[in-house]
Chains A and B, each alone.
Chain A
Amino acid sequence: MIKKLEEISAQALRDLEAASTLEALEQVRISVLGKKGTLSDVLKTLGSVPAAERPAIGAAANEWKRKIEAAIETRKASLENAVLQAQLERDRVDISLPSRLPHRGSLHPITQTTRKIIEVFSRIGFDVVTGPEVETDFLNFEAVNIPADHPARDMQDTFFMGPGVVLRTHTSAVQMRTMRNQSWPLRILAPGAVYRNDSDATHSPMFHQVEGLWVDRDVKMSDLKGTLLFFAREMFGADAKIRLRPSYFPFVEPGAEVDVSCFLCRSKISDSCRVCKGTGWLEILGAGMVHPRLFEMAGYSEAVRSGALTGYAFGMGVDRIAMLLHGIPDLRLMFQSDVRFLKQF
């Protein structure tokens, strides 16, 4: 009987090795271990075996059963693995098909540049202030030392809305508003849209400025220069340089045009530089020491008389800086809302 068990078992192990599918394997299992399986059949005849031999045969039968079961499990795992492998062979995506890309939003380059500028100045204590775009002639001109009939009014072609009402031509109006509503010391930055009656590739009837104002005791022109050098380095790189040239803006005295060294060619002057056009310098700022007339208009006269209340102011064209930073060739692109433009930034 032991021999028969061995034969059956050996046959079973051979069969299940030969089973090439899970179904065939199951067939083998049933044919050996099932109720009517060969092994079961042998065990059913156990009763006819002398009692003394039974335990040994029983143990042997169980041993074989365990072996067969273990072999089935192993075979099953191997077959399952083969099935999975076969499945994985077939289960493929074409990874080169287009992705389900979400729409990528964007902020206007003018917004981004404004934020950069604010970030730099906020690190040395400047606060953001804002004001209306429709402004009184008084705050836009009169109070910043550009009285009616002054030749300096020619510098800014103005849009008029009614008697004494204009579209602000510069954010200097916001400075004056702030000074009139708030006492010194002041470190303010006024970003916003401004308007001039002019339109071509380099002039837009609406454009953007950031204007800065620092008012305190003993503010010197060297402070203005230091602040602007800090700005230039933070904005355009640690090796940026600035150059001040005397100029005239009615709200400052002394006044200066401020050039920043070209951030592309690093002022290695070459005619081919697309940014500075070979000059090595970028004209991006106007600046100067606050004209005492403005303090008078702000109601700071007392402070001016009692001590050295001084201040500096600067203004820059955001649109132009954004154009330089991104290499945008025509200012008009900024305001055409072409998605091909807007999505690039």
Chain B
Amino acid sequence: MRISWNWLSEMLDLGKVDGPQGLANLLTARGLEVEAIERQDQGLEKVITAKILERLPHPQADRLSICNVTTGTGDPLQIVCGAQNMRAGDTVALAQVGSLLPNGAKIEAGKIRGIVSNGMLCSEEELKLAETSEGIMILPAETPLGRPLAEILGRNDTVLVLKLTANRGDCMSHWGIARELAAALGQKPKRAALELLDFKKKGPISIHLDADEAAPQFFGCSIDHVKVGPSPEWIVKRLEALGTRSINNVVDASNLLLLELGHPTHAYDADKIEGGEIRVRTAREGETLPLLDGQTVTLSGAELVIADRERAIGLAGVMGGGNSEVQPGTSRIFLECAEFDPVRVRRAAFKHQRRTEAAQRFEKGIDPSALPHVISRLAGLIIELAGGEIRGACAAQTPSRISPKRPEIEVTPAYFEEFLGMPVSAEIAEPILIGLDCEVRKKGSQWRIIPPPYRLDLSIKEDIAEEIARSLGYDKIRERIPPLSSAPQSIHSAIQAARFAQTNRAKDSLMRAGLSETLNFAFTSKAWLAKFGMTSTAPLLNPLSEEHEVLVPSLIPGLVRNALECWRHHFGSEVVPIRLFEIRPTFFGTFEAIRALDEQNTGVEERWSLSFAVSGTRFAGGLRNEQGEVDFFDIKAILETLFESLGTKGVRFQPLSASRSKSNIQELFHPGKSVEVLAGKDVAGYFGLFHPGKARELKVPAPLWIGELNWEVLSRLSRPVYESPAFKTWSEFPPIERDFALLVGEGVTADKITQVALKAGRPLAKVAKIFDVYRGSQVVGGMTSVAVRVIFYDESRSLQESEAESASTQILEAWKKELGIQLRS
């Protein structure tokens, strides 16, 4: 909201306030934040009036002239000017050397095409006084010389731009701000003496409240013989400074009053009100209403309208009707000053997308006690500006407004200090409250506080405490760390805290594996998901754009996009390595349509995923042949390390080709170089090479390894953060090692070989590991040469060679029998 310093000065003595900045500080300290201070003379500080004594042609340039100007005193100044519209004797606007004009131009002394110029003669455009202008600004001949242009033009006001909070509807006017400041400055705000209208002297138009409490009050006034015309200059300027365009004297009066008192009012052309009656009623479904802005709206039947006998003539609290508009030539008018239900106004304003100044004030609530005063002031102002005579005034109120109930807040004065933790005695609190127009009724140590009718935000004792605190200043509140009264009952939170800690543990592990954490938006486009064969079951109703229309069912499409973007942004011949991970929720609507199931459940399942995308060199630095490219076993290592640091138990890897489950996500993986991660019977996720076909479709320039694990499953199978890994002892006795060179047939996997060895060599065979694999000319076709080392030991004694020998024999037999494996000769 915009507040004029000059206007405020008419209501208050601002002599003790340290200028606009001081006022801004005071308001901000009281909770009315000042966002900006706009001086109207900004950029005009060094622009003064001057008279052209003579105009001479520039010897070097046809389009330039040399003007010798006087500012009334001192020597004439020589100015080079490019405009053509000035003559000797003209009074003009001179930007003196050192000016920084509103358009950003800096005026310096210098030569223009060889001729000294000591300033600039300005156009209205350059001074931002007009959008466009031809030539320089020529002022009236009688304008005094050497005076600041801002003063001559009456641009001497300063506007404070306030960012009001939603609870302070009472401050949406100059009067409201003055009232608030008066409390701070210990003053009484001034307002013009006023004669109230006589609401018993009914005019030609009757008022009917057909919507009960949705429109509990309506005050009207009929004025005849007005002369609609332009407003005086001071009103035009004041309105413009505050961001409102002047229309005509009647409409301007209503708008000015809105800015002065914060109460929306409206003037109708009385001749266009059919049947001599005004009704406030609920709109009829499908009813149409032409509005002041020239458009016609179709009403839903929920809005409140102002109507005459026949039709709607205004959207109550939002905007007047075009069918009853005051225009040049209107001579009989009818004034409205009413109260409407904030919710009804807010809904209508939203529905018809017209969040007008009026609607913004009604939806925050207006002072219900002020209506007689406001309409009397409006009538007086219109008669002052447009003439006319009052034909009558009328009022309609529901019983709730005829005898209004005001909230009473009970509190003991000691409460303020107890609650706020700042020194507040009854002697301090009482004058503050009285200064804020509260009534304080005392009964022993109990206070009953009745807030003023315009403070709709004050209804509980905490509200009163805030009034005290902000009046004294929040800086007076003490500072202490509260004592812990007892341990929190945190079973609920402990579970969440543990899971949060476990997520951090997973992030740390992936970071140590050289991956960078990324955060993608939870939303994406349907089109992008479709490229991955995915659809979302969790769409947004009002997305920011098509790019953000649905919640993600998987983190992989986002990570692949990240990789593509990184590659696209990278200049140079190398393919930049991608090592990204993300642990974030994925979203699944479990019902056909998303709706709240109860107070706490949305029916949208949030399943956290741990996902990654890796591509490029194995090392960040080093010579090319040493770096190598990441392959399957690097990715497998990342996951094994992750499971180890999480203490994850019961997770198995199975070749994707052997998967028995069906899921769209499988299509994203190379069938021979990917893994289905199993947890019991459940699928816990997938990892492997991004399918080369998909990669080609999406123009992925390098092999990309991706994975997505269900973090819900994984975290359940992982060691709880409050459990510590148990110590395991090792054998102090020397082991015996045996190496075997085996010929292995098609389809026998490495893990089978080691599993069989460990089983057959029980209990002494403790470790079996593959240490070399060879296929080639030295081996019979279709066979693979595999080198296996088996380590035998006993925790409690040294082994005999013969024991290892017999265990080895058993292992060889089992290999032969179960896997058809032979020793390589």
Please list the residues of chain A having a beta carbon within 8 angstroms of any beta carbon in chain B.
97-108, 110-111, 115, 124-125, 127-130, 132-139, 143, 149-152, 154-155, 159-165, 167, 177-178, 180-183, 185-188, 191, 193, 195, 197, 199, 205-206, 214, 216-223, 225-227, 229-230, 243-248, 250, 253-257, 289, 291-292, 308, 310, 334-340, 342-343
Is the Cβ of B602 less than 8 Å from the Cβ of A165? yes
Report the separation of the CA atoms of residues A143 and B474 in the bound assembly, to the nearest whole angstrom.
Answer: 27
A343 and B466 contact, CB distance less than 8 A: no
Q: Which positions 429-487 of chain B face chain A at CB distance < 8 Å?
A: 460, 462-463, 465-466, 469-470, 474-475, 477-482, 484-486
Residues of A within 8 A of B600 (CB): 136, 138-139, 177, 180
A187: chain B residues at CB < 8 Å are: 484, 488
Interface residues of B, Cβ cutoff 8 Å to A: 28-31, 33, 165-169, 342-343, 346-347, 363-364, 418-422, 460, 462-463, 465-466, 469-470, 474-475, 477-482, 484-486, 488-494, 496-497, 499-501, 504, 507-508, 510-523, 538-544, 548, 551, 558-559, 562, 565-566, 569, 576-580, 584-585, 587, 593-596, 598-604, 606, 619-623, 626-627
Shortest CB-to-CB span from A157 to chain B, Å, is 9
What's the least CB distance linking B480 to chain A, in Å?
A: 4
Which of A101, A181, A225 gathers most chain B CB within 10 Å? A225
Q: Are A218 and B418 in contact (CB under 8 A)?
A: yes
A182 and B565: CB pair below 8 A?
no
28 A-B residue pairs with CB within 8 Å: A128-B497, A128-B500, A130-B500, A134-B538, A134-B606, A136-B598, A160-B541, A161-B540, A163-B595, A182-B493, A206-B521, A206-B523, A217-B485, A221-B469, A222-B422, A223-B481, A225-B421, A225-B474, A226-B480, A244-B474, A245-B474, A253-B463, A254-B465, A337-B520, A337-B559, A339-B578, A339-B579, A342-B580
Q: Which of B469, B562, B584 contacts A246 (CB 8 A)?
A: B469
A320 to B: closest C-beta gap in Å = 15
With known contacts A103-B619, A149-B343, A253-B462, A130–B478 Cβ distance under 8 A: no
Q: Which residues of B contact A102 (CB under 8 A)?
A: 514, 619-620
Which residues of chain B come closer than 8 Å to A195, judged between CB atoms?
Answer: 522
Q: How far is the CA of A31 from the CA of B736 in the complex (A)?
A: 48
Q: Is the CB of B480 within 8 A of A223?
A: yes
Tell me if A199 and B544 are in contact (CB < 8 A). Answer: yes
**Nearest CB in chain B: distance from A299 CB, A:** 11
**Cα of A275 to Cα of B23 in the assembled complex, Å:** 26
How far is it, in angstroms, between the C-alpha of A104 and the C-alpha of B517 when the chains are bound? 11
Question: Across the interface, do A129 and B542 meet the contact criterion of CB distance under 8 Å?
Answer: no
Q: Which residue of B lies closest to A131 (CB)?
A: B496
Taking the closest CB of chain B, its distance from the CB of A298, in whole angstroms, is 12
Additional 15 contacts, C-beta under 8 A, given A136-B598, A220-B418, A226-B478: A97-B623, A100-B619, A103-B514, A103-B577, A104-B620, A108-B516, A159-B540, A161-B541, A197-B542, A221-B422, A222-B422, A225-B474, A292-B460, A308-B418, A337-B562
Residues of A within 8 A of B539 (CB): 161
Report the minimum CB–CB distance from B534 to chain A (whole Å). 18
Given A107-B517, A111-B517, A195-B522, A226 and B482 contact (CB-CB distance below 8 Å): yes
Contacts of A337 on B, CB cut-off 8 Å? 518-520, 558-559, 562, 565-566, 580
Contact partners of A227 in chain B: CB under 8 A: 481-482
Q: Are B492 and A335 in contact (CB under 8 A)?
A: no
Report B-chain residues with C-beta under 8 Å of the C-beta of A165. 594-596, 602-604
Partner of A245, one of B28, B598, B602, B621: B28
- A125 to chain B minimum Cβ distance, whole angstroms, is 5
Complex Cα spacing A187 to B31, Å: 28
Q: Report how far A97 CA is from B544 CA in the complex, Å.
A: 50
B538 near A248: Cβ-Cβ < 8 Å: no
By the criterion CB–CB under 8 Å, are A254 and B469 in contact?
yes
Bound Cα distance from A119 to B482, whole angstroms:
18
Residues on B with beta carbons closer than 8 Å to the beta carbon of A164: 595-596, 602
B180 shortest CB reach to chain A, Å: 11
Q: Is the CB of A178 within 8 A of B493?
A: yes
Which chain B positions have C-beta within 8 A of A110?
519
Q: Within the assembled complex, what's the spacing in Å between the Cα atoms of A131 and B602?
A: 12
Give the residue name and chain of the B residue nearest to A290 (CB): B462
A-B contact count (CB 8 A): 305
In the complex, A115 Cα to B511 Cα: how many Å? 15
**Which residues of chain B have C-beta atoms less than 8 A from A163's C-beta?**
595-596
Chain A residues lying within 8 Å of B621, measured Cβ to Cβ, are 98-101
Decide yes or no: A225 and B478 within 8 Å by CB, A108-B518, A339-B578 being known contacts.
Answer: yes
- CB-based nearest B residue for A118: B500
Cα(A187)–Cα(B522), bound, Å: 29
| Contact, CB under 8 Å: B420 / A108 | no
Q: Pick the contact of A127 from B421, B497, B579 — CB < 8 Å?
A: B497
Whether A248 contacts B516 in the complex (CB less than 8 A), given A134-B606, A161-B541, comes out as no
Q: A98-B621, A246-B469, A337-B566 are in contact. Are A128 and B606 (CB under 8 A)?
A: no
Q: Nearest-CB distance from A199 to chain B (Å)? A: 6
Distance in angstroms between the alpha carbons of A219 and B483 in the assembled complex: 9
Chain A residue with the shortest CB-CB distance to B417: A220
| A246 engages B522 (CB within 8 Å) | no
The 8 Å CB contact of B595, one of A162, A216, A218, A335, is A162
Task: Choose from B511, B551, B562, B593 the contact partner of A107 (Cβ within 8 Å).
Answer: B511
B619 partner, pick from A101, A217, A254, beta carbons under 8 A: A101
Are B481 and A226 touching (Cβ within 8 A)? Answer: yes
Q: What residue of chain A has the Cβ atom nearest to residue B616's Cβ?
A: A103
A163 to B166, CA, bound (A): 25
B517 touches A106 (CB 8 A): yes
Query: When chains A and B are docked, how far (Å) is the Cα of A106 from the Cα of B169?
Result: 48
> Does the CB pair B475–A243 fall under 8 Å?
yes
CB distance from B372 to the nearest CB of A (A): 26
Task: Among B474, B522, B587, B594, point to the contact of A206 (Cβ < 8 A).
Answer: B522
Residues of B within 8 A of A137 (CB): 596
Given contacts A136-B600, A155-B166, A222 and B480 within 8 Å (CB-CB): yes
CB distance from A235 to the nearest CB of B (A): 15
Q: Which of B480, B514, B585, B596 contacts A133 (CB 8 A)?
A: B585
Q: Known A108-B519, A160-B542, A221-B419; judge A103-B620 contact (CB<8 A).
A: yes
Closest to B561 in A: A337
Contacts A103-B579, A160-B541 hold; do A185 and B486 have CB atoms under 8 A apart?
A: yes
Cβ-defined contact, A152 with B516, below 8 A: no
Does B496 contact A128, Cβ atoms closer than 8 Å? yes
Known contacts: A108-B519, A136-B599. The answer to whether A188 contacts B485 by CB under 8 A is no
Q: Could you tell me if B522 and A193 are in contact, using CB atoms closer than 8 angstroms?
A: yes
Across the A-B interface, give the 3 residue pairs with the lowest CB-CB distance, nearest first. A222-B421, A164-B596, A246-B31
Which residues of chain A are within 8 angstroms of B510 by Cβ–Cβ distance?
A: 105
Q: Knowing A100-B622, A107-B507 touch, does A292 contact B488 (C-beta < 8 A)?
A: no
Given contacts A165-B602, A205-B548, A245-B31, contact A106 B166 (CB under 8 A): no
Q: In the complex, A244 Cα to B33 Cα: how many Å?
A: 12
Chain A nearest CB from B768 CB (Å) reads 29
Tell me, in angstroms, the Cα distance from A205 to B543 when the chains sit together: 10
Q: Would A105 and B512 count as touching, CB distance under 8 A?
A: yes
CB distance from A238 to the nearest CB of B (A): 15
Residues of B contacting A160 in the complex (Cβ-Cβ under 8 angstroms): 540-542
Q: Which residue of A lies closest to B509 (CB)?
A: A105
Given the known A-B contacts A105-B511, A337-B562, are A185 and B488 also in contact in the complex, defined by CB atoms under 8 Å? yes
User: Which one of B29, B31, B594 lies within 8 Å of A248 (CB-CB)?
Assistant: B31
Known: A197-B544, A225-B479. A136 touches B596 (CB 8 A): yes
Complex contact A246–B474 (CB within 8 A): yes
CB distance A111 to B514 under 8 Å?
Answer: no
Residue of A nearest to B627 (CB): A100
Q: How far is the CA of A133 from the CA of B478 in the complex (A)?
A: 36
Chain B residues within 8 Å of A136, by CB: 596, 598-602
Give the distance in Å from the alpha carbon of A227 to the alpha carbon of B462 in the complex: 20
Task: Give the chain A neighbours of B593 by CB distance below 8 A.
Answer: 162
Distance between B3 CB and nearest chain A CB, rounded to angstroms: 18
A101 and B622 contacting across the interface, CB-CB below 8 Å: yes
Q: Which residues of B contact A107 (CB under 8 A)?
A: 507-508, 511, 517
